[in-house]
Amino acid sequence: MGIPRRFTIAESSHRILDPFTEERIRTLGDAIGLSPGATVLDLACGKGEWLCLWALDHGILGTGVDINPPFVEAARERAAELGLADRVDILEADASGWVSKDPVDIAACCGATWIGGGVLGTLDRLDLSLRPGGIALIGEPYWREIPPTPEAVRGCQVESVEACTTLDELIESVQGHGWDVVEMVLADEHSWDRYVAAQWLNIRRFCDENPEDELVPELRAELDVAPVQYARYQRRYLGWGVLALQKR
Ligand X SMILES: C[S@@+](CC[C@H](N)C(=O)[O-])C[C@H]1O[C@@H](n2cnc3c(N)ncnc32)[C@H](O)[C@@H]1O
Distance CA 77, CA 70 (A): 11
x/- mask, ligand X, residues 103-132, rule CB under 6 A, reads: -------xxx--x-----------------
99 belongs to the binding site for ligand X (CB under 6 A): no
User: Least separation, in Å, of the C-beta of 211 and ligand X?
Assistant: 27
Q: CB count, 10 Å around CB of 73? A: 14
User: Min. distance of Cβ 81 from ligand X in angstroms?
Assistant: 17
3-state secondary structure 10-56: HCCCCCCCCCCCHHHHHHHHHHCCCCCCCEEEEECCCCCHHHHHHHH
* Interface size with ligand X, residues (CB under 6 A): 20
Among 21, 38, 63, 71, binds ligand X (CB under 6 A): 71
Q: Which is nearer to ligand X, 87 or 194 (CB)?
A: 194
Tell me the CA end-to-end span of the chain in Å, nearest whole number: 35
Rounded to a whole number of angstroms, the minimum distance from the CB of residue 240 to ligand X is 10
CB of residue 115 to ligand X, shortest distance in Å: 5
The least CB distance from residue 18 to ligand X, in Å, is 4
Sorted by sequence, the CB contacts under 8 Å of residue 26 that are 6+ apart come out as 53, 57
Is residue 206 at the binding interface for ligand X, with CB under 6 A as the rule? Answer: no
Q: How far is residue 194's CA from residue 124's CA, in Å, rounded to a whole number?
A: 31
To which H or E segment does residue 199 belong? helix 189-209
Give the footprint of ligand X on this chain (CB under 6 A): 3, 16-18, 44-46, 49, 65-68, 71, 94-96, 110-112, 115
